[in-house]
Amino acid sequence: MTKVASRKGHMTLPVEVGQEDVVLDLYQRWQADALRDSDGTSMPDSLAEQDSDIYSVMCLVRADQDYANQHPEYLHRKYLMSFPVTAMSDSVTIQPLDGYSKDKYELDDDSDPKQWWEVRNRTTGEVISVDNWSFDAQTQSVEVINVTRYHEYTVTFMARQVWDSVSMYNALTNDWDGPRIKSLDPYHPECRAHLLKHFQHWLETHPNTTVVRFTTFAFLFVIDTGEQNQDIYRDWTGYGETVSPRALQDFEKRFGYKLSPEDFVDAGYYNGTYKVPSQQYRDWMTFVQEFVVEFAAELVKMAHDAGKRTAMFQGDHWIGTEPFLASYQQIGIDINVGAVEDGVALRRLTDSGGDQIREARFYPYFFPDVFSEGNDPVVESMSNWTKIRRAMLQKPLDRIGYGGYLSLANKFPHFIDHVTDISQQFGEYLDNTQRTESQKLPGKVAVLSAWGEARSWLQNQARDQRFYVPPRPDVMELVGNNLLECLSGLPFDVEFISFDDIKQNGIDPEIKVIINTGDANSAWSGDECWDDADIIVKLREFVALGGGLLGVSDPSAYQKNGRYFQLGDVFGLEKETSLTMGRVAMPLEIAQDHYLSQFITGNEDFGNASYVYPQAQDLTVIAAQGQHLAFTARNYGQGRAVYLGNLPFTMDNARLLQYVLIWLAQQESTSFSWLSANPNVDVAFYPHTNKAAAVNFSDQPQTAMVCNTEGRVVEISLEPYQWIWLDN
Amino acid sequence: MTKVASRKGHMTLPVEVGQEDVVLDLYQRWQADALRDSDGTSMPDSLAEQDSDIYSVMCLVRADQDYANQHPEYLHRKYLMSFPVTAMSDSVTIQPLDGYSKDKYELDDDSDPKQWWEVRNRTTGEVISVDNWSFDAQTQSVEVINVTRYHEYTVTFMARQVWDSVSMYNALTNDWDGPRIKSLDPYHPECRAHLLKHFQHWLETHPNTTVVRFTTFAFLFVIDTGEQNQDIYRDWTGYGETVSPRALQDFEKRFGYKLSPEDFVDAGYYNGTYKVPSQQYRDWMTFVQEFVVEFAAELVKMAHDAGKRTAMFQGDHWIGTEPFLASYQQIGIDINVGAVEDGVALRRLTDSGGDQIREARFYPYFFPDVFSEGNDPVVESMSNWTKIRRAMLQKPLDRIGYGGYLSLANKFPHFIDHVTDISQQFGEYLDNTQRTESQKLPGKVAVLSAWGEARSWLQNQARDQRFYVPPRPDVMELVGNNLLECLSGLPFDVEFISFDDIKQNGIDPEIKVIINTGDANSAWSGDECWDDADIIVKLREFVALGGGLLGVSDPSAYQKNGRYFQLGDVFGLEKETSLTMGRVAMPLEIAQDHYLSQFITGNEDFGNASYVYPQAQDLTVIAAQGQHLAFTARNYGQGRAVYLGNLPFTMDNARLLQYVLIWLAQQESTSFSWLSANPNVDVAFYPHTNKAAAVNFSDQPQTAMVCNTEGRVVEISLEPYQWIWLDN
């Protein structure tokens, strides 16, 4: 067996026992410089000794199953709300676990139910006194007495998780037949001490490992599982699986008040990330972050002390580590690894602070759900890659990688060649950019939501999401409004701000355009954050003094004081929510001579009818669906406002967004170098290397005319999907 | 000139000077027995002396324009809210009438502004102290001082109406060039005394008049008019144009509290009938009803004393007279006349209490907007007539009639023949039914809304209405959800109930099915009326004990206690309002073997995607749009619940509704006589005369198989649009 060649590459390659020859072949062809094991695979001894980086997966909370089996009191817990039961007589009996997976959850009856659980009348919202209910450990049920007939009752209970969600997913989706893995909660000092000891031993027994790839530290994101072991609720960034009586008691000491079970189950809404977070939930997040950062920092230090570097996978048990928050830098991680399926996911990886190496782990994962006969993995990969490339042109990415079973991927030679191309294009990107950032248009674009920076570049779900059955549950496919994906590949400096930011610090003068995009009632639109005259005034003032405001879907939606869109006066329009049906519709006049009218090609996708109508006389309607406004523009004071009914991701929509932002920033008279007008072609210019890149998103040849920095017109011709580099 | 033939007919014919021959011809062909003048026409002397009923239009509040011109203090007033103005400095100047018609409105500055007007900060909702604003009569403007920059301000002011809306409509739509008519407010005792005197004189000088056709008594429904004299807001049943300082002062004495200007302008929503009414608005309606009923009763008595009968046109200045309220009978009217364009309008006329003669005034009105070259008035008339016939089969109608310029109609011989057919069909209907009611299926169907009986058979507007530009502003064309039109021609006993009815009296045991249909936030769905555990319990109990519940669009929609649909537990589903996007969508299974499945033809129209998803395991999905539920059924206790996403009026939808109601009433195993299964054919049976009617809604031949009361199968074949009568 030949030795792996000298290290020069940028790719992390998954390995598999028995596939050593394939590994050595692909190591060269895919320009790899690091080898990794994955969930379900391990490192062949022969390869572990090669001159390459060796990434070893470490998910410490799942690492010692013997200990987990001996200590049910340290298993992950969470609050669940029983499904409501209607009282048909004077008492009602509730089996809290009805409707939930019995393979995954047990009632955590060793946390005293009377202390840690809560029974509520869900028809009135009232808490039922502990005198009026009792838990029967024998039947695992709660009896509530003195109830009101035809009222609904729930039990909020602490569930013990006896099967880790990821293990469950692999068993059910990928037919793994190993033991059911349990996760341990390191918040318990005894458990933590044991895990640290286990980790120390692991470090000592993995001499070939150069990078500890944490997957991840303590707590999984939220997956709730139903009676048939089906996922019933998911929140990739939710903090619901971090609860224990001990942590709750410490929280009370730290924050001076006690959290209730209701603060977690939230009437059954479970603090979904798409909701405006309560102060209690924010405080809990802070509490969890403080713990996880401290715990993770200890693990990282141990790895460093053992002479190894560390990588963190921004997924799985990553809750509490927030790359966009300053606290993240206390952990000391060397490499941020993100699962990247599109431009937004890439920007989520590349845009956070700190000097970590950024490594994108691409989809598809080499698992049988994709790599099965009759399926072409290149289709998904190319769809991802074309989106990712656009975003890569905007922010530097350092490394790429894959995961899973190499043996599966190797059955698809077409896919092997395709990844060879991807890796070669990525190598050229590194050469030509020297990891520097491309040129941006002047000024900043800020996306305003209830979360702000903490949830930068998180896909903003919309109502349509609830009605989309994804072919693969582990891959987020966003449907409906998706401004962020359009934005991820455009040459603007983007930042994410919250309502609190505006209240506390005002609006950064560098911000030229503020975007508010999202469905009503969501954290993205802002919901009750708009119930605040101070916010409304600051935004009216921002626009009146020359700023640009872009609203998409339900911007500033909150019913109060005679308005549904609180900034409807700035946009010049209103949404029909059945309160103004008597106002008479006038036929719309579509403007032909507005600056933005020229960019309407008819290929735009504005989604469903908006139910938005004009309110200001001087509103310019650029596009409509019947009498429903789809795209409007208006001057307000010295500034400008644009409304878009919806902006699903298409390249036509992305290019339209580019010109909307230019108009809102009042830069439509400026000629910008290396700016593409062709919807299917993105162009970026790197001032530090004096190179320009052009990528063709489409499967058709494309031509784009752009100016270089001297103002000379350059004609760029591209083959389908081609990526080329040009001198300035 | 020949004398009009002996009186035998059922039609009120409009007359016109110079058209005497046409009148005499049509009097026979159209089976008329009464002649009327109309707005804009008068009675030829020769005809006024004929042996037929002579209806004379009397709109007393518009009858004496000299007096109106001399007494601006008695003109109709209303509260209007100025369009909001944003403060850009420390003071703000508002021209209250900006945006409103200067031809129609004047500032009523003789009601002291400081006492009767109100200035508000619309960004906070606060009332501005009278010390901080002043009215300048010279410039007709309000200056507000000490304002907050970038807050919005409005003036709610009393406007004097110097041009009656109907007169304005005729001038602008039908090019009438007569003087601008003003309406007088009889609430002022001096004005009332004058009008009574005027009316007494009128009675004395109209000896040939046999029927005084009031159009109507005191106050017009609401039409707000914009700067270009365009309608900007309409509420056919709104009480906004009934205000005067004197009435407000009397209200305070009567109800013990004072109404504010805000109670009328309602943050700009103006108490639209589609909104859940506030207690203040209800009280004001009661106050106005008490006055109008008393005033109208006096006029009717005067007419009776003069030996004339009275008719009331349920339109124009009809506010305060509510045929579905008991107080209506105190007026003493002999004939109720309703403008009828569809089945719902017909039922609004025929279903109210009392023994008045019911006369339907059909559309199109003989006005140039319809009777103009190139337009075919038969198209509109046939579309109306086919809908009206269905409803006529359910409740007895006594008379029909038309209005407008006969000379215009006479230019369309095809239309004259068409009306001859209509009148002949109507005559056969009178002969065969003897004014009795057709057979209904057992049990009652109740429509539940915030209004209940007071707004029986009022078209329920939906959000789509706001986005429909009607070709003719005076004719209501309902778009979107329209269950009532479907229901108007079905053989069910229908009543309208309110949430208050249920709270106060429970649910009538004769009610087998309760329908809640309407958009969220509307009076039809119920909005905050659902914020009431008592209501929820009573409805759950109703269904659990065997009742049927039909929800359409947003039934029981009110966000609280973890639910948007408060009866979502009964329906077994929930609406996505961006609060549950993390709940995982499961592929829907469409039931093929449910009783209701057999009625799905694929021709149903369920409107837009519902954004409703299953919540109960035992929900039966009968139709869906993608993953959006369109039609579901579920058992709940001993009862049943059905959800429909939307039910626009089509004959397929109407027939589907028939079977939904049968299933909800648990009558699907019963065989009913004279019940049509053909969507395009309606059949009714009249037990009193032992006759059955069958009507073909469509322009194609149709066949229907029905059972007679002996159980014998009868095959009914119908030509396009045909109406036939059969023996049992």
The CATH class given to the B444-664 domain equals: alpha beta
pLDDT the model gives residue B173:
80
- List the single residue in B with minimal CA-CA distance to A152: B569
A232 contact residues in B (CB cutoff 8 A): 583-584
Length of chain B: 728
CB A547 within 8 A of CB A516: no
pLDDT greater than 80 at residue B48? no
Options 3.40.50.300, 3.20.20.80, 3.30.200.20, 3.90.180.10; CATH for A11-66+187-237+293-433 is 3.20.20.80
- List the single residue in A with minimal CA-CA distance to B468: A585
Neighbours of B40 (CB within 10 A): 15
- Tens digits of per-residue pLDDT, A176-191? 888 999 999 999 999 9
Are residues A540 and B84, on separate chains, in Cβ contact within 8 Å? no
Please provide the DSSP assignment of A274-309 as one string.
Answer: TSPPPHHHHHHHHHHHHHHHHHHHHHHHHHHHTT-E
Q: Measured between alpha carbons, how far is A465 from A460 in angstroms, rounded to an integer?
A: 10
B576 contact residues in A (CB cutoff 8 A): 463, 466-467
CATH number of B77-161: 2.60.40.10
Q: Which of A466, A561, A577 sits opposite B583 (nearest CB)?
A: A466
Q: Measured between alpha carbons, how far is B285 from B261 in angstroms, rounded to an integer?
A: 15
Q: Measured between alpha carbons, how far is B645 from B611 in angstroms, rounded to an integer?
A: 9
Every domain range in chain A assigned CATH 2.60.40.10: 77-161
What's the rounded mean pLDDT across residues B515-542? 98
Instruction: Name the token pair of A697.
Output: 């998103």
Residue type, A707: C
Are residues A150 and B540, on separate chains, in Cβ contact within 8 Å? yes
- List the single residue in B with minimal CA-CA distance to A473: B584
Q: Measured between alpha carbons, how far is B696 from A358 in angstroms, rounded to an integer?
A: 72
- Tens digits of per-residue pLDDT, A674-725? 999 999 999 999 999 999 999 999 999 999 999 999 999 999 999 999 999 9
Are residues B467 and A586, on separate chains, in Cβ contact within 8 Å? no
Q: Measured between alpha carbons, how far is B569 from A123 in angstroms, rounded to an integer?
A: 11
Using CA atoms of B500, B501, B505, B511 in order, give the dihedral in degrees to the nearest 10: -140
pLDDT greater than 50 at residue B3? no
pLDDT the model gives residue A1:
35
Query: Taking all residues of chain B, what is their mean pLDDT, rounded to a whole number?
Result: 95
A560 contact residues in B (CB cutoff 8 A): 125
Give the confidence band of B2 by pLDDT, cuts at 50, 70, 90. very low
pLDDT the model gives residue B46:
79
Q: Which residues contact A252 (CB under 8 A, 6 or more apart)?
A: A258, A259
Instruction: Name the token pair of B646.
Output: 């939307």
pLDDT the model gives residue A4:
44
Phi and psi at residue A383, to the nearest 5°:
-60, -40
> ∠ CA B400-B406-B412 to the nearest 5 degrees?
95
CB A312 within 8 A of CB A318: yes
In this predicted model, which residue has the larger pLDDT, B280 or B476? B280
CB A458 within 8 A of CB A237: yes
A428 CA to chain B: closest CA distance, Å?
39
Instruction: Name the token pair of A164.
Output: 């880790």
- Tens digits of per-residue pLDDT, A229-240? 999 999 999 999
Q: Which of B269, B462, B627 sits opposite A467 (nearest CB)?
A: B627
CB B211 within 8 A of CB B55: yes
Instruction: Name the token pair of B633.
Output: 């059924």
pLDDT the model gives residue A7:
54
* Pure H helices in B207-270: 245-255, 261-265
How far the first Cα of chain A sits from its last, in Å, is 46
A568 contact residues in B (CB cutoff 8 A): none
Are residues A533 and B123, on separate chains, in Cβ contact within 8 Å? yes
State the sign of the Cα–Cα–Cα–Cα dihedral A662, A666, A669, A674.
negative
- Tens digits of per-residue pLDDT, A131-165? 999 999 999 999 999 999 999 999 999 999 999 99
Every domain range in chain A assigned CATH 2.60.40.1180: 681-727
Q: Which residues contact B701 (CB under 8 A, 6 or more apart)?
A: B717, B718, B719, B720
Burial of A652 (0-12, 13-18, 19+ CB in 10 A): middle
Residue with tokens 């005894």: A190
Length of chain A: 728
Share of chain B above pLDDT 90, in %: 92
A465 contact residues in B (CB cutoff 8 A): 581
Closest CA to A606 of A622, A590, A593, A618: A622
Q: Which of A151, A468, A469 sits opposite B533 (nearest CB)?
A: A151
Q: Measured between alpha carbons, how far is B191 from B71 in angstroms, rounded to an integer?
A: 9
Q: How far is CA A638 from the centre of its chain?
A: 36
E strand segments, B191-349: 211-214, 222-225, 231-235, 309-313, 335-340
Instruction: Name the token pair of A333.
Output: 């991680």
Cα radius of gyration (chain A)? 27
Containing A519, the helix (H) or strand (E) segment is none
Residues paired with residue B399 on neighbouring β-strands, in sequence order: B359
Containing A94, the helix (H) or strand (E) segment is strand A92-94
Give the confidence band of B7 by pLDDT, cuts at 50, 70, 90. low
CB A369 within 8 A of CB A173: yes
> ∠ CA A325-A328-A330 to the nearest 5 degrees?
135
Are residues B230 and A586, on separate chains, in Cβ contact within 8 Å? yes
Residue of A227, A581, A610, A646 for testing the chain B interface, max B β-carbons within 10 Å: A581
What's the rounded mean pLDDT across residues B663-678? 97
Residues paired with residue A340 on neighbouring β-strands, in sequence order: A362
Q: Measured between alpha carbons, how far is B382 from B380 in angstroms, rounded to an integer?
A: 6
Instruction: Name the token pair of A301.
Output: 């230090």
Whether the predicted interface score ipTM is above 0.90: yes
Q: Which of A86, A273, A563 sits opposite B540 (nearest CB)?
A: A86
| Cα separation values, B300 from A83, A159, A644, Å | 62, 74, 57
Inter-axis angle of helices A413-433 and A20-29, to 10 degrees?
40
**Percent of residues in chain A assigned helix, strand, coil, to nearest 5:** 30, 25, 45
What's the rounded mean pLDDT across residues B5-27? 86
What stretches in chain A show pLDDT beneath 70?
A: 1-7
- Tens digits of per-residue pLDDT, A540-551? 999 999 999 999
Q: Measured between alpha carbons, how far is B701 from A6 in angstroms, rounded to an integer?
A: 86
What's the rounded mean pLDDT across residues B573-602? 95
| Cα separation values, A173 from A61, A163, A165, A166, B202, Å | 22, 15, 12, 10, 88
Are residues A541 and B150, on separate chains, in Cβ contact within 8 Å? yes
Are residues B577 and A463, on separate chains, in Cβ contact within 8 Å? yes
pLDDT the model gives residue A492:
98
Marked catalytic residue, from B283, B316, B519, B682: B316
- List the single residue in A with minimal CA-CA distance to B524: A578
CB A191 within 8 A of CB A155: no
Going across the sheet that includes B620-625, the strands are B493-498, B444-449, B511-518, B548-553, B639-644, B628-636, B620-625
Instruction: Name the token pair of A235.
Output: 């929140």
Are residues A562 and B267, on separate chains, in Cβ contact within 8 Å? yes
Q: Measured between alpha carbons, how far is B244 from B74 in angstroms, rounded to an integer?
A: 9
Q: Which of A266-275, A711-720, B475-484, B626-635 has the lowest mean pLDDT?
A: B475-484
How far the first Cα of chain B sits from its last, in Å, is 46
pLDDT greater than 90 at residue B312? yes
Are residues A467 and B613, on separate chains, in Cβ contact within 8 Å? yes
Between β-strands A444-449 and A511-518, what pairing exists: parallel, antiparallel or unpaired?
parallel
Q: Which of A125, A519, A537 sits opposite B150 (nearest CB)?
A: A537
Inter-axis angle of helices A377-392 and A413-433, to 10 degrees?
10
Are residues A466 and B637, on separate chains, in Cβ contact within 8 Å? no
Residue of A150, A266, A468 for testing the chain B interface, max B β-carbons within 10 Å: A150
Between β-strands B141-144 and B133-136, what pairing exists: parallel, antiparallel or unpaired?
antiparallel
- Which residues of A are the active-site residues? 316
Domain over B681-727 is classified CATH 2.60.40.1180: yes
